[in-house]
Amino acid sequence: MPFLPITYASTSTKILSSWRTSKPVIDYTKCTRCAICWKFCPDVAIDLVVDSSLKSPNEKFSSLEAPSIDYDHCKGCGICETECPFGAIEMVREEE
Amino acid sequence: MPLTIPREEYMEQGHTACAGCGAALSMRYMLKAAGPKTALAIPACCWSVVPGEFPATNLKVPLLYTPFAAAGAAISGLREGLDAQGKEDYNVFAFAGDGGTADIGLQGLSAAMERGHNVIYIMYDNEAYMNTGIQRSGSTPYGAWTTTTPVGMKRDFKKQNKKFVADLMIAQNVPYVATATIGYPEDLERKISIAKSIKGPKFIQILSPCPPGWYHNSADTVKISRLAVESKVFPLYEFKNGKFSLFKPSKTARLTDYLSLQGRFAHLKEDEIKVIEESVNERWSYLLKKEQS
Amino acid sequence: MTGNEAVAAGVKLSNVKVIAAYPITPQTTIVEKLAEMVANGELNSKFIEVESEHSAMSAVTASEMTGVRSFTASSSHGLLYMHEALHWAAGMRLPLVMTVVNRAIGPPWSIWGEHTDSFNQKDTGWLQMYCETNQEAMDSILLGYKIAENNKLLLPVMNMLDAFTLSHTSEPVEVRSHSTAADYLGELELESKMDFNNPAGYGSIVPPDGPFMEMKKDMRDSMYNATNAIKKEITTFNDLFNAELPGLTENFMMEDADYALITLGAISSTAKYTIRKLRERGQKVGLIRLYFYRPFPGEEIVKAVKGLKGLGVVERNLSFGQRGPTFEDVATAIYGRVDVPMRNYVVGLGGRDVRVKDYELMFENLVEGNNEIEWVNVGAK
């Protein structure tokens, strides 16, 4: 077969963390698991996970899927911080 | 809490869009509604680079790259090729920027819609040639700084009004025409789903804020998208089978709320903002009348 | 049938599934005929009435990408308007076939024959075939798909016929058996077609350290390496259909020739007539007709020109600021291998007649070898 200009490989192995100047950190005690941050992430870098270690003072929230930042692919745009209605996400400056 | 948009992702992580890219959100939302049985054509635009370089691709649907002016023709060919094999149930989408739609690709778009192929053309509108570095397009609004309308001593900012391609598609009586923006993902998903359910040509224009091109904070992409609607700068409307309906936002914003977050408008003086205000109001009453007629 | 009807018959025989075309004289009657065939149910094909040639080529590129045999045709300015999309089709390694009815490029406007339009496309990665007769015009469509769809090649094929002298002139043409043609070509099985189960990017960007150069090299190697397969395919075709296609080139009365001309396309027939006439007068003259121009039949030319005392390259196209492209390509092919005095003759631009006496003049000039002429049958300003 000829050398075709066709690409199949996944991009998810690409690590983009060096693009960031600051990173979002979720305060799970404030997070209501509304998934708005997941919805607005242009980098598909927020997963929804069931993880009992991500504690919330409210029992109701603890059993729900919680957002978890994929720091390999987050570019640090900060949309999640702006859009979070509960102030549960804070952008923290990356160290040099 | 139940999710308000589909969970499935057909756009992978690891793409090379800028941080806070509105066009990346447009693609993500579009594919969620489009689903896996979708063939995509992308002409020259940011998204001809964003999916990743050889040997990678970040979309979980087949994607044909096309020449700049060729999106309309390419979706026509994809559609007829699939139909010739009895694959009528596959979706065919174009995903093109505003340069490739309002300018160099307008002829091909108009003809594809006129021929009536069963296709969906998505224009992700970031209001300038962003992939080549912020040159003005027909879709750039009045007042905007771009690298080809630089603010200098003798000549400054774009003096012409935005060309509204969705309006042109209505004039052509395309069966389904809509405007949308990434600040309203549920609305966007709904519009793509409606488009899928209608046989024939469909056109959706998605306003997609661009942090480096609009000189805004990357964290404000979604906020600016909403402000564009609330300030009536970018009205959301639908034209379905000849019936026009205009979305009236319950929350309104001032024009300056929208402009002040964007460096591309930073040079504007009061009288120039007034010019924008007047044209925004004029357009809003034009659209209201259109709805009533 | 006319050349254009013969092309349409060839497309029907090839069981093409998608046709996209835009009108331009003198190609128009091809797509008119195809539209009629589709309308009458003679040809089961999708027909896209595009709004431009750029869109015609872009549409068939996309339809071929889905895995169905596709076709378009154009001429002159329409072909130039396709130029970008021609590179795209070849670069995507799609086995398209198109017909070009050769017509001059304006300004000034001219709808008549010459080869500049397709010569401007010789570097796009398409194979190029120049037909001399309407029978060849039909057979070349079938042969074109067969060659293009060869899994080792996967490059598109451009078939040329001259404006009016072939396109609109009737000649006896034997329409090949439909069932034999169907067996010969079979259904298109394009391994690289769009696959929904294994989604890919078709044409993704390649950085300088990626395999961009390797892909281009592979295209060039594939085209070079295709010559043997093409020759074999022509033999098979001739046996199967009782046809008379030449090889990559046709040598006419070259066995003992001292002087020869090189031509392409329909003007070769007048050259052959002239050669017969000159032979009767005892002149040892001959003709090499290039049926294929890409891949360039260099080896065939080297063999044919050995022992010649003079070679004239007849050019029905023009390059400004340099000799004609055919002259350059022939010179490159024989350089360092055969030493033959060469002349370049520019003829037949804008549909200008190439007459028997013009060929006589060219041979005369080759034999005398003194004053070099370049332009034939051209007046003063």
C28-to-B68, B72, C17, C21, C239 alpha-carbon distances in Å: 27, 23, 19, 9, 33
Give me the pLDDT at residue A52, please.
Answer: 80
Give me the residue from C199, C215, C222 closest to A5, CB to CB: C215
Give me the pLDDT at residue C347, please.
Answer: 97
- The C-alpha of C64 sits at a distance from chain A's nearest C-alpha, in angstroms, of 15
Give me the pLDDT at residue C65, please.
Answer: 98
Confidence of residue A61 (pLDDT cuts 50, 70, 90): confident
Chains in contact with A via at least 3 Cβ–Cβ pairs below 8 Å: B, C
Residue type, C86: L
**Cα–Cα distance measured from residue B226 to residue B124, given in angstroms and rounded to the nearest whole number:** 16
- Residues in chain C with CB shorter than 8 Å from the CB of B131 are none
What pLDDT, in 10s, does the model give residues C164-199?
999 999 999 999 999 999 999 999 999 999 999 999
Give me the residue from B39, B51, B80 closest to C48, CB to CB: B80
Confidence of residue C380 (pLDDT cuts 50, 70, 90): confident
State the average pLDDT over residues C360-371.
91
Residue C304 clears pLDDT 90, i.e. is over it: yes
**Cα–Cα distance measured from residue A5 to residue C216, given in angstroms and rounded to the nearest whole number:** 10
Residue of B10, B11, B13, B18 best to disrupt the A interface, most CBs of A under 10 A: B13
- The C-alpha of B74 sits at a distance from chain C's nearest C-alpha, in angstroms, of 5
Confidence of residue B221 (pLDDT cuts 50, 70, 90): very high
- Residues in chain C with CB shorter than 8 Å from the CB of A4 are 92-93, 154, 192, 215
User: C152, A2: Cβ pair inside 8 Å?
Assistant: yes
Domain ranges of chain A: 25-93
State the average pLDDT over residues B193-217.
98
> Who's near C163: CB < 8 A, 6+ residues apart?
C26, C75, C101, C102, C103, C111, C112, C113, C351
**Cα–Cα distance measured from residue B180 to residue B30, given in angstroms and rounded to the nearest whole number:** 11
Give just the sign of the alpha carbon dihedral C189, C191, C195, C200: negative
Return the residue of A nearest to B16 by Cα.
Answer: A16
Give me the pLDDT at residue A57, please.
Answer: 84
| Sheet strands (E) in C75-181 | 97-102, 127-130, 157-162
Give me the pLDDT at residue B247, please.
Answer: 98
Return the residue of B nearest to A7 by Cα.
Answer: B55
- When the pLDDT of each residue in chain C is averaged and rounded to a whole number, the result is 97
User: C206, A5: Cβ pair inside 8 Å?
Assistant: yes
What pLDDT, in 10s, does the model give residues C12-42?
999 999 999 999 999 999 999 999 999 999 9
- Residues in chain B with CB shorter than 8 Å from the CB of A91 are 219
- Residues in chain B with CB shorter than 8 Å from the CB of C17 are 81, 84-85
Q: C224 in contact with A at a CB cutoff of 8 Å?
A: no
Task: Using CA atoms of C357, C361, C364, C365 in order, give the dihedral in degrees to the nearest 10.
Answer: -170
Give me the residue from B60, B64, B107 closest to C52, CB to CB: B107
Residues 5-64 of A with CB under 8 A from C: 5-8
Q: C206 in contact with A at a CB cutoff of 8 Å?
A: yes
Confidence of residue B289 (pLDDT cuts 50, 70, 90): very high
- Residues in chain C with CB shorter than 8 Å from the CB of A8 are 198-201
User: A6, C202: Cβ pair inside 8 Å?
Assistant: yes
- The C-alpha of B138 sits at a distance from chain A's nearest C-alpha, in angstroms, of 26
Residue B293 clears pLDDT 90, i.e. is over it: no
C372 class by beta-carbon count within 10 Å (0-12 exposed, 13-18 middle, 19+ buried)? exposed
Interface size, chain A vs chain B, as Cβ–Cβ contacts under 8 Å: 105
Q: A83 in contact with B at a CB cutoff of 8 Å?
A: yes
HEC profile for chain B? CCCCCCCCCCECCCCCCCCCCHHHHHHHHHHHHHCCCEEEEECCCHHHCCCCCCCECCECCCEEECCHHHHHHHHHHHHHHHHCCCCCCCEEEEEEECHHHHHCCHHHHHHHHHHCCCCEEEEEECCCECCCCCECCCCCCCCCCECCECCCCCCCCCCCCCCCHHHHHHHCCCCEEEEEECCCHHHHHHHHHHHHHCCCCEEEEEECCCHHHHCCCHHHHHHHHHHHHHCCCCCCEEEECCEEEECCCCCCCCHHHHHHCCHHHCCCCHHHHHHHHHHHHHHHHHHHHHHHC
* Residue the block writes with tokens 């001219």: C110
- pTM of the predicted model as reported, rounded to 2 decimal places: 0.97
What pLDDT, in 10s, does the model give residues C40-67?
999 999 999 999 999 999 999 999 999 9
Helix axes of B71-83 and C53-65: crossing angle, nearest 10 degrees: 40
User: B77, C54: Cβ pair inside 8 Å?
Assistant: no
Q: C307 in contact with A at a CB cutoff of 8 Å?
A: no
What pLDDT, in 10s, does the model give residues C160-172?
999 999 999 999 9
Residue C381 clears pLDDT 80, i.e. is over it: no
- The C-alpha of C134 sits at a distance from chain B's nearest C-alpha, in angstroms, of 29
What pLDDT, in 10s, does the model give residues B2-24?
899 999 999 999 999 999 999 99
Confidence of residue B118 (pLDDT cuts 50, 70, 90): very high
C293 class by beta-carbon count within 10 Å (0-12 exposed, 13-18 middle, 19+ buried)? buried
Question: What dotted CATH number matches A25-93?
Answer: 3.30.70.3270
In the numeric block, which tokens belong to residue C345?
């003759």
Name the residue with higher pLDDT: C207 or A53: C207
Give me the pLDDT at residue C371, please.
Answer: 77
What pLDDT, in 10s, does the model give residues B38-74?
999 999 999 999 999 999 999 999 999 999 999 999 9
Residue A53 clears pLDDT 90, i.e. is over it: no
Give me the pLDDT at residue C286, please.
Answer: 98
Residue of C53, C63, C195 best to disrupt the B interface, most CBs of B under 10 A: C63
The percentage of chain B sitting over the pLDDT mark of 90, rounded to a whole number, equals 97
Residues of C with CB under 8 A from a CB of B: 17-18, 20, 45-46, 48-52, 54-56, 58-68, 70, 84-85, 88, 194-196, 199-207, 210-212
User: A4, C192: Cβ pair inside 8 Å?
Assistant: yes
State the average pLDDT over residues C310-326.
96
Give yes or no for a contact between C35 and C47, defined as CB atoms under 8 angstroms apart.
yes
Give me the pLDDT at residue C116, please.
Answer: 98
- Residues in chain C with CB shorter than 8 Å from the CB of A2 are 93, 152-154, 218-219, 222
Q: What is the ipTM of this complex?
A: 0.96
Give me the pLDDT at residue B213, please.
Answer: 98
Domain ranges of chain B: 22-292
User: C62, B67: Cβ pair inside 8 Å?
Assistant: no
- The C-alpha of C381 sits at a distance from chain B's nearest C-alpha, in angstroms, of 41
Name the residue with higher pLDDT: C124 or C371: C124
Interface size, chain B vs chain C, as Cβ–Cβ contacts under 8 Å: 159
Confidence of residue A51 (pLDDT cuts 50, 70, 90): confident
State the average pLDDT over residues C249-270.
98
Chains in contact with C via at least 3 Cβ–Cβ pairs below 8 Å: A, B
Q: Is B22-292 CATH 3.30.420.40?
A: no
Name all domains of chain C by residue range, CATH numbers in brackets. 3-186+205-241 (3.40.50.970), 250-368 (3.40.50.920)
The percentage of chain C sitting over the pLDDT mark of 90, rounded to a whole number, equals 98
User: A73, B211: Cβ pair inside 8 Å?
Assistant: no
User: C201, B75: Cβ pair inside 8 Å?
Assistant: no
Residues of B with CB under 8 A from a CB of C: 36-37, 39, 41, 48-49, 51-57, 59-67, 69-70, 72-78, 80-85, 87, 90, 107-108, 110-111, 114-115
Q: Which SS3 state, helix, strand or coil, does residue A91 take?
A: strand
Confidence of residue A22 (pLDDT cuts 50, 70, 90): very high
